Amino acid sequence: MLVGAAFHGGIPFTLPPSPAIQSSNCSRVLLSSSLLTRRSNRRKKPKWFPCFVGSSVGKWKRFGVRAEAVGEVTEEEAFGSGGPRLYSVRIPVGDRHILVETGHIGRQASGAVTVTDGETIVYSTACLSDVPSEPADFFPLSVNYQERFSAAGRTSGGFFKREGRTRDHEVLVCRLIDRPLRPTIVAGFYHETQILSWVLSYDGLHAPDYLAVTAAGIALALSEVPNTQAVAGVRVGLVNGKFIVNPTTEEMEESELDLVLAGTKSAILMIEGYCNFLPEEKLLQAVEVGQESVRAICSEIEALVKKCGKQKMYDAVKLPPPELYMHVEEIAGDELIRALQIKSKTPRRKALTALEDKVVTILTEKGYVSKGVASAVAETVPVLFDDEDEDEEVVLDGEVDEGDVHIKPTMRKSTPLLFSEVDVKLVFKEVSFKFLRRRIVQGGKRSDGRNPQGIRPISSRCALLPRAHGSALFTRGETQALAVVTLGDKKMAQRVDSLEEDDEKRFYLQYSFPPSSVGEVGRIGGPSRREIGHGTLAERALQPALPSDGEFPYTIRVESTITESNGSSSMASVCGGCLALQDAGIPLKCSIAGIAMGMVLDTEEFGGDGTPLILSDITGSEDASGDMDFKVTGNEDSITAFQLDIKVGGITLPVMKQALLQAREGRRIILEEMSKCSPPPALKLSKYAPLIHVMKVSSDKVNLIIGPGGKKVKSIIEETGVEAIDLRDDGTVKIIAKNISCIEKTKSLITGLTMVPTVGDVYRNCAIKSIAPYGVLVEIAAGREGLCHVSELSHNFLPKPEDAFKVGDQIDVKLIEINAKGQIRLSRKALLPAVPDPLVPNTKQQSSASTKDTWSKDGSVEGNLGTPGKVVKGPEGTPEDERHVNKDKPKKVKVKAVGSVSRKTQNSSVNGEAKVG
Supply the DSSP string of 275-322, one letter for each residue. EEEE-HHHHHHHHHHHHHHHHHHHHHHHHHHHHHPPPP-GGG-----H
* Res 39: pLDDT: 35
The predicted pLDDT at position 176 comes to 96
Confidence band for 735, pLDDT divided at 50, 70 and 90: very high
pLDDT tens digit sequence for 150-194: 998 888 766 777 777 889 999 999 999 999 999 999 999 999 999
Query: Is pLDDT at 276 greater than 60 in this prediction?
Result: yes
pLDDT of residue 17: 41
Mean pLDDT of 890-907: 36
The pLDDT value given to residue 765: 87
Cα–Cα distance measured from residue 691 to residue 718, given in angstroms and rounded to the nearest whole number: 17
Distance CA 182, CA 196 (A): 15
Residue type at 38 in one-letter notation: R
Q: What DSSP designation does 849 have?
A: G
What average pLDDT does this structure show over 714-743? 91
Helix, strand, or coil here: 261?
Answer: strand
pLDDT of residue 839: 66
In angstroms, rounded to a whole number, what is the distance separating the alpha carbons of residues 872 and 882? Answer: 15
Query: What is the average per-residue pLDDT within 464-473?
Result: 96
User: Is the pLDDT at 399 greater than 80, yes or no?
Assistant: no
DSSP character for 669? H
Statement: residue 23 has pLDDT above 80: no
Determine which of 164-168, 409-413, 582-586, 596-600 has the lowest per-residue pLDDT on average: 409-413
20: pLDDT confidence band, cut at 50, 70 and 90? Answer: very low
Which residue(s) pair with 571 in the sheet?
none
DSSP, collapsed to helix, strand or coil, labels residue 525 as: coil
Q: Whole-angstrom Cα distance, residue 279 to residue 283?
A: 7
Mean pLDDT of 11-40: 36
Residues in the chain: 917
Average pLDDT over residues 600-610: 80
Q: Is it the case that residue 33 has pLDDT exceeding 80? A: no
The DSSP bridge partners found for residue 644 are: 271, 630
Q: Band of the pLDDT at 504, cuts 50, 70, 90?
A: confident
At 823-879, the pLDDT tens digits run 889 998 888 887 666 666 655 444 433 333 333 334 333 333 333 443 443 333 333
- What are the two backbone dihedrals, phi and then psi, of residue 571, each rounded to the nearest 5 degrees? -75, -30
Picking from 462-476, 521-535, 873-887, which range would have the lowest pLDDT averaged per residue?
A: 873-887
Q: Is the pLDDT reported for residue 372 higher than 60?
A: no
Q: Where are the beta strands (DSSP E) in 96-178?
A: 96-102, 111-117, 120-128, 141-147
Is the pLDDT reported for residue 394 higher than 80?
no
CA separation for the pair 470, 463 (Å, rounded): 6
Instruction: Report DSSP state, residue 432.
Output: H
Q: What strands lie across the sheet with 257-263, from one edge to the other?
A: 242-245, 232-239, 257-263, 268-278, 639-646, 628-634, 593-600, 613-616
Please answer whether residues 216 and 199 qualify as being in contact, where contact means their C-beta atoms are separated by less than 8 angstroms.
no
3-state per-residue secondary structure call for 329-357: HHHHHHHHHHHHCCCCHHHHHHHHHHHHH
What is the chain's mean pLDDT, rounded?
A: 79
pLDDT confidence of residue 15: 35
Angle among Cα 573, 574, 577 to the nearest 5 degrees reads: 75
Output the CA–CA distances (angstroms, integers) from residue 70 to 31, 291, 507, in the order listed. 12, 55, 67
d(CA 346, CA 357): 17
Provide the pLDDT for residue 847: 40
Residues sharing a CB contact under 8 Å with residue 26, sequence separation 6 or more, in sequence order:
62, 63, 64
Is residue 229 within 8 Å of residue 266, measured between CB atoms? Answer: yes
Exposure string (b/e) for 84-112, b if CB count within 10 Å is 16 or more? eeeeebebebbeeebebbbbeebeebbbb
Q: Which residue would you say has higher pLDDT here, 550 or 428? A: 428
What is the spatial distance between Cα 497 and Cα 511, in angstroms, rounded to a whole number? 20
For residue 893, what pLDDT is reported?
A: 36
CA-wise closest residue to 360 among 412, 402, 418:
418
Tell me the three state secondary structure of residue 676.
Answer: coil
pLDDT for position 416: 66
Query: Distance between CA atoms of 245 and 236, rounded to whole angstroms?
Result: 5
- Is the predicted pLDDT of residue 31 greater than 70, yes or no? no
211 touches 205 (CB < 8 A): no
Residue 725, beta-bridge partner list? 735
209, pLDDT greater than 70: yes
- Interval 763-808: pLDDT, tens: 888 988 888 988 999 988 776 788 999 888 888 888 888 888 889 8
Region 645-651 average pLDDT:
85
Instruction: Yes or no: say if 819 and 855 are a contact pair by the CB < 8 Å rule.
Output: no
Question: Which of 199-213, 319-333, 358-372, 673-687 shows the lowest per-residue confidence on average (mean pLDDT)?
Answer: 358-372
**Percent of the chain at pLDDT exceeding 70:** 76
Q: What is the pLDDT of residue 887?
A: 38
Task: Please tell me the predicted confidence (pLDDT) of residue 821.
Answer: 75
CA distance 370 to 762: 105
Note the helical H segments in 55-134: 75-78
Enumerate residues 6+ apart whose C-beta is below 8 A from 58: none
Q: What is the pLDDT of residue 365?
A: 83
pTM of the model: 0.74
Which string of DSSP letters, residue by residue, matches 640-707? EEEEEEESSS-B-HHHHHHHHHHHHHHHHHHHHHHTT-SSPP--S--TTSPEEEEEE--GGGHHHHH-
What is the share, in percent, of the chain residues with pLDDT greater than 90?
A: 50
Q: How far apart are CA 761 and CA 431, in angstroms?
A: 88
Return the closest-CA partner of residue 434 out of 358, 506, 340, 347.
Answer: 340
In this predicted model, what pLDDT tens digit does every residue of 132-141 receive, in sequence order?
A: 998 888 899 9
What is the mean predicted confidence (pLDDT) over 253-260?
95
* Between 6 and 674, the higher pLDDT residue: 674
